[in-house]
Structure 1
Amino acid sequence: MIVAQGIRKTIADLPRGVYDYDAHASLADRGARRYHPYSFDFDSTPLDLNEPEANWDEQVKQTHQENRIQQMKRLETEYGSRHIENVIQNVIDLGPKSMSLLAYHNQLHEQARRSFVIGAYYPALVAACALGERILNHLVLDLRDSFKASTHYRKLYRKDSFDNWPFAVSVLTDWNVLVDGVGAEFLGLGELRNRSIHFNPDTYQSLRVDALAALQRLNTLLARQFGYFGGQPWFIENTPGAQFVKRAYEANAFVRTYIIPRSGFVGPLYGMELSADGYWTHLDYADYGDVELSDDEFAKRYRERDPAKVVSRELIEKGRPKAEGPRAPADDDGDFTD
Structure 2
Amino acid sequence: MRRTISDLARGVYAHSEHTDVADRQARRYHPYSFDFDSTPLSLRNPEEHWDEQVKQLHLENRARQIKRLELEYGALNIDEVLKNTIDLGPKSMSLLTYHNRLHQQARSAFVAGFYYPALVAACALGERILNHLVLDLRDNFKSSEHYKKVYRKDSFDHWPFVVSVLTDWSVLADGVGAEFLALGELRNRSIHFNPETYQSLRADALGALQRLNAVIAMQFGYFGRQPWFIENTPGAQFVKRAYEEHPFVRTYVIPRSGFVGPLYGMELSEQGFWTHLDYADYGDADLSDEEFATRYRDRDPAAVVSRQMIEATRGRNSPI
TM-score range, shorter chain: over 0.9
Residue matched to 1:27: 21
Structure-1 separation of matches of 2:294 and 2:314: 25
Other-structure match for 2:240? 246
Q: Compared with structure 1, are the counterparts of its residues 308 and 321 closer, same or farther at alpha carbon in structure 2 (3 Å cutoff)? A: farther
Deviation at 1:335, TM superposition (A): 2.5
Q: After the TM superposition, which residues 278-289 of structure 1 pair with which residues of structure 2 at under 5 Å, given as runs? A: 278-289=272-283
Stretches of structure 1 that go unaligned for 5 or more consecutive residues are: 1-6, 323-332
Amino acid at match of 2:88: L
Q: Tell me whether 1:335 sits opposite 2:319 in the alignment.
A: yes
CA distance in 2, matches of 1:317, 1:172: 48
Q: CA-to-partner distance for each residue in 1:124-156, whole Å, 9 max, x for gaps?
A: 000000000000000011111111110000111
Offset, 1:69: 1.1
Residue identity (%): 75
Map of 1:93 onto structure 2? 87
In structure 1, the partner of 2:225 is 231
User: Partners in 2 of 1:318 and 1:334 — Cα distance?
Assistant: 10
Q: Which residue of 1 aligns with 2:51?
A: 57
Matches within 5 A, 1:273-312: 273-312=267-306
Task: Give the structure 1 partner of residue 10 of structure 2.
Answer: 16
What is the CA deviation profile of residues 172-205 of structure 1, one whole-angstrom value per residue up to 9, with x for unaligned ones? 0001111111001000100111111100011111
User: Are positions 1:47 and 2:47 aligned together?
Assistant: no
Secondary structure in 2 matching 1:8: coil
Q: Which amino acid aligns with 1:335?
A: P
TM-score (norm 2): 0.98
Is 1:84 the equivalent of 2:78?
yes
Amino acid at match of 1:120: F
Q: Quick check: 1:177 aligned with 2:171?
A: yes
Separation in structure 1 between the aligned mates of residue 183 and residue 315 of structure 2, nearest angstrom: 55
In structure 2, the residue matched to 1:329 is none
Q: In 1, distance between residues paired with 2:291 and 2:176? A: 30
Residue among 184, 199, 203 paired with 1:190 = 184
Q: What one-letter code is carried by the residue in structure 1 that aligns with 2:311?
A: E
Q: Distance in 2 between matches of 1:49 and 1:278?
A: 26
Distance 2:159 2:214 in 1: 17
Q: Distance in 1 between matches of 2:162 and 2:40?
A: 33
Deviation at 1:19, TM superposition (A): 0.6
Quote how far apart the aligned CAs of 1:334 are.
Answer: 3.0
* CA shift for structure 1 position 276: 0.7
Q: Structure 2: which amino acid aligns with 1:313? A: R
Q: Does 1:128 align with 2:122?
A: yes
Q: Distance in 2 between matches of 1:289 and 1:302?
A: 16
Alpha-carbon distance in 1 for matches of 2:318, 2:133:
42
State the partner residue of 1:314. 308
Q: Deviations over 1:260-311 (max 9, x none)?
A: 0000000011111111111111111111111100111111111111111111
| Uncovered stretches (5+) of structure 2, i.e. residues with no partner | none
Is residue 105–residue 135 contact of structure 1 (8 Å, CA) maintained in 2? Answer: yes
Q: Secondary structure at the match of 1:219?
A: helix
Within the alignment, does 1:211 sit opposite 2:195 as a pair? no
- 1:22 and 1:55 map into 2 onto residues whose CA distance is 52
Structure-2 separation of matches of 1:13 and 1:255: 25
Aligned residue in 2 for 1:330:
none
Matches within 5 A, 1:130-149: 130-149=124-143
Whole-angstrom distance in 2 between the partners of 1:312 and 1:66: 33
SS at match of 2:86: helix
Q: For 2:270 and 2:314, how far apart are their aligned partners in 1? A: 23
Counterpart of 1:154 in structure 2 is 148
Q: Is the 8 A contact 1:320 1:335 kept in 2?
A: no
Aligned-residue offset at 1:64:
1.2
SS of the residue aligned with 1:259?
Answer: helix
Structure 1 residue identity aligned to 2:318: G
Determine the structure 2 residue equivalent to 1:4. Answer: none
Give the Cα separation in 2 of the matches to 1:195 and 1:126. Answer: 11
Contact 1:189 1:218 in 2 (8 A): yes
Paired positions, count? 320
